[in-house]
Amino acid sequence: MFLAVDAGNSDTVFGLYDEQGWRNLWRTRSLLEDPMMAYAADFSSLDPLSADLGSVDRYERLLRLWFLEADVPLGVVDSIVISSVVPELTPTLRTTITRLFDREPVVIGPAVYPALPLQILRPYAIGTDLVANAMAAFVSYRKNCVVVDFGTAMTFTTVSAEGKILGVAIAPGLKTAVRSLFANTAQLPEVPLILPESALGTSTAHAIQAGVVLGYEGLIRTLIERTRAELDGDCIAIATGGLVSAIPTLHGEFADIRPTLTLDGIREIGLRVY
């Protein structure tokens, strides 16, 4: 079995893959500033006082619990690949994997890029999640493609039909935008990410939803249109990320919506470096 680890700024996702596809997907907070959040976020019987920031023990206990609940022996995992955009978490994950599975994981980065069928112009500057997205898009579609990832950051990664990463656009993610308002204003509440029917907000929550959710609908459409225009109209759009369902009116823009695209890319990288 193959284990993919996708460590993002907000969450870390573990995906277990067998011949049937993604058998199990597990998600947890990447870094916990408040140890008590471990108990609430992971819904487990972990001792919250032991769940320190970036703790190897925390990740090891979570993985043991998840594998036990899934009735999967640890020994069946024969390859593990980590993508991490959180530098302080990468050594924790690497140590956890090595200790738990008695094998060294592959950590995606410039050292493995020469083995990939991608042209990466700035290998030390691009996030490994974006490389994984580009890898999955290139292998799956073989067309000019812009991957729109609805994550902590809203990213637009464009890869050519020949496998060249042409460029990236980055904006704050939906939750990041809402939390920024909540954190930096005295009277604005944090609100759910629901697409309102009207741009004319009649309450504070409605006003924020109109400004952020409807605003991002326009932002995303515009960036997709600009990308297509720069490629003479020859470009499909693919959506992924945890908030991809937040703006359903955008779904017609996408040739495909693949929640596991980043994990698929991590696996494709693993197939070429193991």
Q: Is 60 left (phi over 0), alpha (psi -120 to 50) or beta?
A: alpha
Query: Is 2-107 in CATH node 3.30.420.40?
Result: yes
Q: Please compute the mean of the pLDDT values over residues 184-198 and round it to a whole number.
A: 73
Strands 145-150 and 236-240: parallel
| Residue 129 among the catalytic residues | yes
- Please tell me the predicted confidence (pLDDT) of residue 185: 62
- Set 42, 129, 149, 264: catalytic member: 129
**Confidence (pLDDT) at 89:** 95
pLDDT band at 37 (very low <50, low <70, confident <90, very high): very low
Instruction: Please say if the pLDDT value at position 191 is more than 90.
Output: no
Averaged over 29-51, what is the pLDDT?
46
Q: Is the pLDDT of residue 21 over 80?
A: yes
Q: What percent of the chain has pLDDT over 70?
A: 89
| Percent with pLDDT over 90 in the chain | 73
When pLDDT is averaged across residues 124-135 and rounded to a whole number, the result is 97
pLDDT the model gives residue 187? 59
Instruction: Determine the pLDDT at residue 204.
Output: 83
Using pLDDT thresholds of 50, 70 and 90, give the confidence band for residue 52. Answer: low
The pLDDT value recorded for residue 31 is: 76
pLDDT at 167 over 50: yes
pLDDT, one tens digit per residue, over 53-93 is: 568 999 999 999 999 999 999 999 999 999 999 999 999 99
Write down the domain spans for the chain: 2-107, 117-265
pLDDT at site 178 = 82
Q: In the β-sheet with 11-18, what is the strand arrangement from edge to edge?
A: 21-29, 11-18, 2-7, 79-84, 106-107
Domain 117-265 has CATH 3.30.420.40: yes
- pLDDT(155) > 70: yes
Q: Is the pTM of this model over 0.85?
A: yes
**Beta strand extents in the chain (DSSP E only):** 2-7, 11-18, 21-29, 79-84, 106-107, 145-150, 153-159, 165-172, 236-240, 256-257
